[in-house]
Amino acid sequence: MSFKAEYLWIDGTRPTAKLRSKTKILADGAELPLWGFDGSSTQQAEGNSSDLVLKPVFSCPDPIRGGDDLLVLCEVLNTDLTPHATNTRAPLRAVAERFANQEPIFGIEQEYTFLKGSRPLGFPEGGYPAPQGDYYCGVGTGAVFGREIVERHLDRCLAAGLGVCGVNAEVMPGQWEFQIGALPPLEVADHLWVARWLLHRTAEEYEVTASLDPKPAPGDWNGAGAHTNFSTRAMREGYDPIITACDALGDGDKPLEHVRNYGSGIETRLTGAHETAPWDAYTYGTSDRGASVRIPWQVAADKKGYIEDRRPNANVDPYVVTRLIVDTCCTALEKADQV
């Protein structure tokens, strides 16, 4: 007997990489082998030396095919087995290992928008729906759009064993969110990439697109983000490390270095309106949804917990945002002897 392994990888599309996948039939009990693909069709190689290597790094039950079938997330390698230039997981591996002693964990809030054609699901043909106000966590016809897809996606994430911890309807019609975590950096990012693949794959069945565009509807509509919640063991145990991490993210060139790597089109979303901070100013504050980084009220009350970086776009690469935050904050915490 055999089983189906769906090999997933991240391509070289610019400015925002896309997911790709293909199916391999394996004999029952077989190890997951290295595999290859045509990099010239994914913007990862030239046609005259197009072979690239897929190396399985995370697998889980395939909740769509069921049985013994698997989803297999891969890193992309060159044929000499070094990480390919588009492989952002490899540099995260090094940073995660370097700071593993601080036990960093993340919860990422993935916002997204269902599109029917080029318009958000729930936007009437040729016109606009009632302004924002009733949609966030709403219920009922006319308030939410696409719930059946959301429920099916959630069930599939759970069946796959992904660390999804919640879903909610968002501020704009057709806009939703799911959260993954809290998990260590590699795990949260691997799970998020697989959850994104399941989202696109599930939306296919409804002939709807799940878009990670940070500003899917111009004008007075919220953009789509990926708020990234972060803590180390020291932050979970005391308040000084919380402040150290907030200050570290604001130090010197750090705000720009982070924002530049927080997803394409960030200046269209971080305008300072719609529950965001301006992209070129760094602030942090308690309960402040207009700050770059928010300290949740419960964290300020308990004097321990985590911080929320509200800047990352929905289209951010979770391997990149987790690497930058761990690097910036854990370096500062180590210097401050708060590990």
Q: Which residue has the tokens 């089109």?
A: 265
309 is an interface residue for Mn ion by CB under 5 A: no
Q: Which two tokens stand for residue 272?
A: 């300072």
Tell me which DSSP letter residue 141 carries.
B
The single residue among 6, 75, 190, 308 that binds ligand ADP, judged by CB under 6 A, is 308
Q: Burial of 102 by CB count in 10 Å (0-12 exposed, 13-18 middle, 19+ buried)?
A: buried
- H helices of 60-134, in order, are 89-98
305 is an interface residue for ligand ADP by CB under 6 A: yes
107 is an interface residue for ligand ADP by CB under 6 A: yes
CA distances from 129 to 27, 125, 138, 144, 219 (A): 52, 10, 15, 12, 13
227 is an interface residue for Mn ion by CB under 5 A: yes
177 is an interface residue for Mn ion by CB under 5 A: yes
Select 37 or 178, whichever has its Cβ closest to ligand ADP.
178
The single residue among 24, 64, 236, 240 that binds ligand ADP, judged by CB under 6 A, is 236
Select 69 or 177, whichever has its Cβ closest to Mn ion.
177
Integer Cα distance of 170 and 181 in angstroms: 19
Select 122 or 225, whichever has its Cβ closest to ligand ADP.
225
Q: Which residue is nearest to Mn ion (CB)?
A: 227
170 is an interface residue for ligand ADP by CB under 6 A: no
**Residue 143 φ/ψ, nearest 5 degrees:** -105, -35
Q: Which does 274 bind (CB under 5 to 8 A by kind): ligand ADP, Mn ion, none?
A: none
Q: Which does 222 bind (CB under 5 to 8 A by kind): ligand ADP, Mn ion, none?
A: none
Select 308 or 317, whichever has its Cβ closest to ligand ADP.
308
Integer Cα distance of 333 and 234 in angstroms: 9
- Which amino acid appears at position 185 of this protein? P
Q: What is the DSSP string of 179-229?
A: EEEEE-HHHHHHHHHHHHHHHHHHHHTTT-EEE--SSSS-SSS---B--EE
Please tell me the count of residues contacting ligand ADP according to CB under 6 A.
17
Select 83 or 238, whichever has its Cβ closest to ligand ADP.
238
CA distances from 170 to 66, 134, 215 (A): 30, 10, 13
187 is an interface residue for ligand ADP by CB under 6 A: no
Q: Which does 284 bind (CB under 5 to 8 A by kind): Mn ion, ligand ADP, none?
A: none
Interacting residues toward ligand ADP by CB under 6 A: 105-107, 109, 165-166, 179, 181-182, 227, 229-231, 236, 305-306, 308
